[in-house]
Chains A and B, each alone.
Chain A
Amino acid sequence: MYGHLVRRLLQFVVVLLLGSVAVWGFTFALPGDPATVLLGADASAAELAAVRARLGLDESIVGQYLSWIGHAVTGDLGASYYSGQPVVSDLFDRIPATVQLAGFAMVLTLLIAVPVGITVALRPYSVVGRVLQGYLTAGLAVPTFWLGLLLIIVLAVRLRWLPASSDYVPLWENPAGALSATILPAAAIAVHTSSVTARFLATSLGEVMGKDYIRTARAKGVPERDVIRRHALRNASLPTVTVVGLQLGGFLGGTVVIEAVFNYPGLGRLLYTAIGERDYALVQGGVLFVVATFLLLNLLVDVFYAVLDPRIRLT
């Protein structure tokens, strides 16, 4: 187990470093010079040079990377080209909002996916099972942004039950407000992700139900409810855990489209704007954060997986 974890930890570090190189290199591949963008097309050569020097763009590429990553390790991601504010503080302004949305979306996803997945796996031919299967197909097919717009039009504009654009209301300050502000974007996301998760769960649960050890549990006289709860679900959850981890990583990286649709002040919208403005420092810092979060979640999924599966834990 420890060998496994140490190996995964090293992998994490290596992939993160490679990722940082990619994040850094990618901004260079983009057309357009940030200094020109900042100052406008008719800035003088001297002005451009001064801005470049301020932004550190006159160093060699390797030098720029090394100083960037060196600072990044100490928690300094540089300053936004535009606002001049530290990138880190820009990011940290938005992270709570994104975490809250991600959390809501994940909870909703699981609340839908677990019962739906179980029902579809155990009663595929019942009326309810067929209806839910229809939901899964639809949930995968419907684009999230379209669903978001639909929810806004129906629930916010027509019925006026909920606000159309979502501000960030911290959960601990105003739970009811937070719920009403976040529920629509969370639901728009969760319809898609719950369909993916439920499908995974249904497939693996269906497979597990045919395993020999399920037959053994039945032959012992275990009631069917407990056969499913105690024997089938834990085994079936193993592959599902991976999917859920990936989805959560995706949420934390910012759900760009949904944040744009709902005008939600999260990380996704921040990055979206920064890319439009060629605010490289902010883009690099933001994407590095997203990549790191994603990898970290993956690592946690691996650890969790090992906790669930003794075959990994004990070898």
Chain B
Amino acid sequence: MSGAVNGVTAHRDATSVAPDPGAGPPVLSLRDLVVEFATPAGVVRAVNGMTYDVFGGETLGVVGETGSGKSVSVLAALGLISTPNLRRVTGEVLLGDVDLLTLPTAELRRRLGRDVAMVFQDAISALNPVRRVGDQIAEALRVHDRTLSSTAARARVVELLGLVGVPHPVTRHDQYPHQFSGGMCQRVMIAMAIANRPKVLIADEPTTALDVSVQAQILNLLRVARQETGAGIVLITHDLGVVAETADRVGVTYGGRIVESGDVTRIFTRPRHPYTAALLGALPRLDSASDRLLPIPGQPPDPSELPTGCAFAPRCPISRGRAVCTEARPEPVPDGSGASACHFPDEAASLLTAQADDPPVDQDDPGEPDNDPAPVLDVHDAVARFPVRSGVFARACAWVHAVDGVSLRVPAGRTLGLVGESGCGKTTLARLVLRLVEPTGGRILVDGDDVGKAGRSQLRRIRRRAQMVFQDPYASLNPRLSVGDNVAEPLRLQGLSRGQRRGQVADLFSRVGLRVEHADRLPSEFSGGQRQRVAIARALACAPGLLILDEPVSALDVSVQAQVLNLLADLQRETAMAYLFVSHDLAVIRQVADEVAVMYLGRIVESGSVRRVYDDPRHPYTRALLASVPVPDPVGRADRQRVPLGGDVPSPVNPPSGCRFRTRCPIATDRCAAEEPPLRPVAGGYTACHFAEETVGLAPEVPA
């Protein structure tokens, strides 16, 4: 697709994110970029007047929810959209003096990778699986410098691999992407992007698919890359924490354009657009759990029918139906170091203060749940192993220790949060509870019934009392049944009549905040958040005593996530259901859970009340995790010294001897390799570390 669509009237005056005075000319400017796709449902205007500047040596965070046009704008700017339904790209993309949109493809390509480079989300699939990693980096060098010899290129690639922190660069040079972890692939992508010392580096969700500890490594690396190359970085993300942690300036996107921009501290402390303020209110916090999140009502706008006035008007808490909001599209008005595209920018900050006036109610610390005579869920020493087959006869030659001796209890009306990085066994544990995975050992009781020993009919009864909600509601709903029928399905299996079912479905719909009139629609007609509500409604149909929630909000946007989290909290208050809430997101767990269990390589390394685990973590792993999570608060980020955990989670096939964390633990000793630390009572919680008493005095960056 050639990007040679000539710019129309560019709003040069529409001030974009303005620089600090004296920062020199911007290295990259988007001016009133409009991108449209032709779809069967009509024209989709994915980007609607995106305007921003990036200056050399700075990081511009572009933050916004799904579908707000963050990715499409940069891909269109660089001529990288190749779908045949691209209808129009107008505006200007100025790289220095050149408008990239006017260049023929061949000319444009000469600049890509040399002057402006990109780092993509999901680095594993962004690398060619059949070509050596080193060759792929070398290609970036050699397309722009035909005179470079292959030996010189190789030497430079090895140097680059070392620079981005890939261990053993000489060996790694000749390996293939599938031999790298996700984090290592992202390092390779960064090496490729900085190979030619570009003026601009655009990183589109560079850490979204990664674990927090690896995310922290990659964000550090981007900082190094900026120092090395002096490039201006555009960091596109949906994560306000990542922005607060790394950006100098921020642009907030909504409905295909930047609605507010400015200095990072200003944006987070004195937002001048109600959307920014509302996003901050909807965000679960790691540093302090608020009693209740403030979700933004409704959903992000549909880019195929953008309103004529302000795109945020239908959800805006301060518009109060003022006509100007629905009639005139607010243009960004520069103020101080930034701009706000709102007719009433001064009222936005009041949203934040209003929240601050309403101090978070302290979470009631649970009593000793161990005193509870009969927990709804009682997992005792559960074990799940999977064979790894290989060799000529596909014999099981090794075992994946997915869950290896885990015990937990969840009493009625309480939430146990289970956190850990990918591959630590969280989901397997959740599936064990319903025996969707056959246990290798241990005992799991739901309401006193042994799940492992249950016969067919008893298991069916247990599965009615314990329901599961998955991350991807679309995959768990039957796409050919209406959402009403999906919800009614468990009722039908119970033998309720049609009329009874209708009544109950209506009741369930109103409980989860769905409109009963929509019961006849198909799941595909709903947004992600609504589909998750449907999935929750279906789980509630059998009036279960236990909900197992496996990453239920991970696919949702912040504003919608807050709606679902609040819904779950309300339902729990009404019915005293017990929740087993699995998530990789420590802030979400802090928000929802009473008790927390931290998993690492199939084992629980620390557990206890939320207070104990978050405010007084004793296990070095918990401490490192907490230190890795980006905090959405730029104030004082310079003082937050953090040394991210090195390396990746080891393979659960042959976990390290002794303490499984010892390969990444900064304070490991010989004893840790020899003796496995038991999960033992420490400071009002449980910690599996030989030195749990000594970690408390340690700063987050533990001395080696």
Binary A-proximity of B335-368 (CB < 8 A = 1, otherwise 0): 0000000000000000000000000000000000
Chain B residue at minimal CB-CB distance from A10: B392
Binary A-proximity of B214-241 (CB < 8 A = 1, otherwise 0): 0000000000000000000000000000
**Assembled-state Cα–Cα distance A274/B111 (Å):** 68
The interface centre, meaning the residue of A125, A221, A309 with most chain B CB atoms within 10 A of its CB, is A221
Binary A-proximity of B106-129 (CB < 8 A = 1, otherwise 0): 100111111001101010011111
When distances are taken between beta carbons in the complex, the residues of chain B under 8 Å from A216 are 118, 120, 126-128, 189, 192
Contacts A224-B105, A308-B130, A314-B179; A212 near B143 (Cβ below 8 A): no
> Cβ of B157 < 8 Å from any Cβ of A?
no
When distances are taken between beta carbons in the complex, the residues of chain B under 8 Å from A217 are 128, 139
Please report which residues of chain A, range 213-268, place their CB below 8 angstroms from some CB of chain B when the two chains form the complex. 213, 215-224, 226, 230-231, 234-235
A214: min CB distance to chain B, Å: 8
> Cβ of A158 < 8 Å from any Cβ of B?
no
Main secondary structure of the interface of A (DSSP, over half): helix
When distances are taken between beta carbons in the complex, the residues of chain A under 8 Å from B125 are 211-213
Contacts A7-B392, A211-B125, A213-B125; A221 near B111 (Cβ below 8 A): yes
**Assembled-state Cα–Cα distance A218/B139 (Å):** 11
Let me know if B144 and A310 touch, CB within 8 A.
no
When distances are taken between beta carbons in the complex, the residues of chain B under 8 Å from A6 are 392
Please report which residues of chain A, range 301-315, place their CB below 8 angstroms from some CB of chain B when the two chains form the complex. 308-311, 314
A233: min CB distance to chain B, Å: 10
Contacts A219-B78, A308-B130; A212 near B179 (Cβ below 8 A): no
When distances are taken between beta carbons in the complex, the residues of chain B under 8 Å from A211 are 125
Chain B residue at minimal CB-CB distance from A225: B106
**Assembled-state Cα–Cα distance A209/B83 (Å):** 10
> Cβ of B391 < 8 Å from any Cβ of A?
yes
> Cβ of B503 < 8 Å from any Cβ of A?
no
When distances are taken between beta carbons in the complex, the residues of chain B under 8 Å from A212 are 120, 122, 125-126
A307: min CB distance to chain B, Å: 10
> Cβ of A276 < 8 Å from any Cβ of B?
no
> Cβ of B82 < 8 Å from any Cβ of A?
yes
Query: Which of A3, A125, A221, A222 is close to B391, meaning CB atoms less than 8 Å apart?
Result: A3
What is the number of residues of chain B that contact chain A, defined by CB distance less than 8 Å? 37
Binary A-proximity of B76-98 (CB < 8 A = 1, otherwise 0): 00111010100000000000000
**Assembled-state Cα–Cα distance A209/B128 (Å):** 12
Let me know if B109 and A235 touch, CB within 8 A.
no
When distances are taken between beta carbons in the complex, the residues of chain A under 8 Å from B192 are 216, 220
**Assembled-state Cα–Cα distance A277/B122 (Å):** 64
> Cβ of B518 < 8 Å from any Cβ of A?
no
Contacts A210-B82, A311-B176; A220 near B129 (Cβ below 8 A): no
Let me know if B176 and A213 touch, CB within 8 A.
no
Contacts A221-B114, A311-B178, A314-B179; A213 near B126 (Cβ below 8 A): yes
When distances are taken between beta carbons in the complex, the residues of chain A under 8 Å from B105 are 224
Binary B-proximity of A1-21 (CB < 8 A = 1, otherwise 0): 001001100100000000000
When distances are taken between beta carbons in the complex, the residues of chain B under 8 Å from A125 are 84
Let me know if A219 and B131 touch, CB within 8 A.
no
Main secondary structure of the interface of B (DSSP, over half): mixed
Chain B residue at minimal CB-CB distance from A221: B113
**Assembled-state Cα–Cα distance A217/B168 (Å):** 25
Chain A residue at minimal CB-CB distance from B129: A311
Chain B residue at minimal CB-CB distance from A211: B125
A127: min CB distance to chain B, Å: 16
B197: min CB distance to chain A, Å: 14
> Cβ of B140 < 8 Å from any Cβ of A?
yes
> Cβ of B147 < 8 Å from any Cβ of A?
no
B643: min CB distance to chain A, Å: 31
**Assembled-state Cα–Cα distance A211/B124 (Å):** 11
**Assembled-state Cα–Cα distance A215/B79 (Å):** 10
B84: min CB distance to chain A, Å: 7
Let me know if B139 and A310 touch, CB within 8 A.
no
Chain B residue at minimal CB-CB distance from A219: B118
Let me know if B109 and A223 touch, CB within 8 A.
yes
**Assembled-state Cα–Cα distance A181/B125 (Å):** 49
Binary A-proximity of B381-392 (CB < 8 A = 1, otherwise 0): 000000000111
Let me know if B128 and A224 touch, CB within 8 A.
no
Let me know if A219 and B129 touch, CB within 8 A.
no
A255: min CB distance to chain B, Å: 33
**Assembled-state Cα–Cα distance A125/B109 (Å):** 24
When distances are taken between beta carbons in the complex, the residues of chain A under 8 Å from B75 are 215
When distances are taken between beta carbons in the complex, the residues of chain B under 8 Å from A7 are 392
Please report which residues of chain B, range 389-441, place their CB below 8 angstroms from some CB of chain A when the two chains form the complex. 390-392
Contacts A10-B392, A220-B192; A310 near B127 (Cβ below 8 A): no
B109: min CB distance to chain A, Å: 5
Let me know if B176 and A221 touch, CB within 8 A.
no
Let me know if B112 and A218 touch, CB within 8 A.
yes
Binary B-proximity of A29-69 (CB < 8 A = 1, otherwise 0): 00000000000000000000000000000000000000000
8 pairs of A and B residues whose beta carbons are closest in the complex: A221-B113, A220-B113, A310-B176, A221-B112, A213-B128, A212-B126, A219-B118, A220-B140
Interface residues of A (CB under 8 A from B): 3, 6-7, 10, 125, 209-213, 215-224, 226, 230-231, 234-235, 308-311, 314
- A212-B120, A221-B112, A224-B105 given; 6 more Cβ-contact pairs under 8 Å: A212-B122, A212-B126, A215-B120, A216-B126, A218-B109, A222-B109
26 pairs from A and B in contact (CB 8 Å cutoff)? A3-B391, A215-B82, A215-B120, A217-B139, A218-B79, A218-B109, A219-B120, A221-B111, A221-B140, A221-B143, A221-B144, A222-B113, A222-B143, A223-B143, A224-B105, A224-B109, A230-B131, A230-B139, A231-B131, A235-B128, A235-B129, A310-B129, A310-B130, A310-B176, A311-B176, A314-B178
